[in-house]
Amino acid sequence: MNIAVLVKLAPDTEAALKIDADRLKIATVDINYVLNPYDEYAVEEGLRWKEKFGGTTTVFSLGREEAVKALRNALAMGADEAVHIVSPGGLDMLGKAKALAAALQGRGFDVIFAGKQSVDDDCGAVGPMTAYYLSIPHISTVVKLDCDGSRITAWREFEGGAEKFECPLPVLITAQKGLNEPRYASLKGIMFSKKKEIAVVEAAPAQAKIEILKLNYPPVRQAGKIVGQGVEAVPKLLQLLREEAKVL
């Protein structure tokens, strides 16, 4: 089985994000970057498929120099090969999907895994759009996956229900929390990741079609109001919910 996994470096979810002086991006100083948490599920799935079906797991990451850290983390978990798609930055989602598809094209992957979204941009678009440019099916936000070697069965959840899909390989799957329990890296994996040469490909230059105009902080939440205590406070609370908050 020839397996690809798309990974991205993202700010640690515990990091307190600040807007940069230009108001167009997040300030990168003092932020700890980690492998995007949803991509960890994708890497884990890629490793499990390798263990089950044999073959190799190749990880791809798109971006500037820092992207290498995401690749090394995936190698330390057990991936075999890594490809860094160098882009000058500034690509929009469409541009990223095109660049990823160009790098994946012609390599004969049976399956491509990606996280369902990155925790910084939160778009959830790059995985499915990459599948589009590769002309292969995709199933997104997958929580359970089976494969008999040529066809897959995938389950995804939505509010109040679940969907089951069947589909032949090749396919692109985006991973949702619950798909698996990602493994820890290992000391051997870390030493391997250090020695492993990472292949580099250049992304073709592209003009972003979406422009970010300005980043703003969310409005500061107003302090709540305590209208009283116990049963006596209920009529007043109902009145305020109706008349002031207008939620009833």
Residues forming contacts to another protein in the complex (CB under 8 A) are 14, 72-73, 76, 183-191, 193-194
Tell me whether residue 18 or residue 188 sits nearer to another protein (CB atom): 188
The distance of closest approach from Cβ of residue 187 to another protein in the complex, given in angstroms and rounded to an integer, is 3
Tell me whether residue 40 or residue 45 sits nearer to another protein (CB atom): 40
Burial class (CB in 10 A: 0-12, 13-18, 19+), 200: exposed
DSSP string, 37-50: HHHHHHHHHHHHHH
The distance of closest approach from Cβ of residue 37 to another protein in the complex, given in angstroms and rounded to an integer, is 13
Q: Sign of torsion, CA 190 86 90 23?
A: positive
Nearest by Cα to 109 from 35, 55, 47: 55
The distance of closest approach from Cβ of residue 225 to another protein in the complex, given in angstroms and rounded to an integer, is 26
Nearest by Cα to 112 from 90, 149, 139: 139
Query: At 14, is the secondary structure helix, strand, or coil?
Result: coil
Question: What is the crossing angle of helices 67-77 and 187-195, to 10°?
Answer: 130
User: What contacts 116, CB < 8 A, 6 or more positions away?
Assistant: 38, 124, 127, 140, 141, 142, 174, 175, 176
Question: In the structure encoding, which two tokens stand for residue 113, read together?
Answer: 């895994």
Tell me whether residue 73 or residue 174 sits nearer to another protein (CB atom): 73
Tell me whether residue 73 or residue 87 sits nearer to another protein (CB atom): 73
Tell me whether residue 75 or residue 136 sits nearer to another protein (CB atom): 75
The distance of closest approach from Cβ of residue 201 to another protein in the complex, given in angstroms and rounded to an integer, is 22
Nearest by Cα to 17 from 36, 3, 31, 5: 31
Tell me whether residue 4 or residue 35 sits nearer to another protein (CB atom): 35
The distance of closest approach from Cβ of residue 193 to another protein in the complex, given in angstroms and rounded to an integer, is 8
The distance of closest approach from Cβ of residue 67 to another protein in the complex, given in angstroms and rounded to an integer, is 14
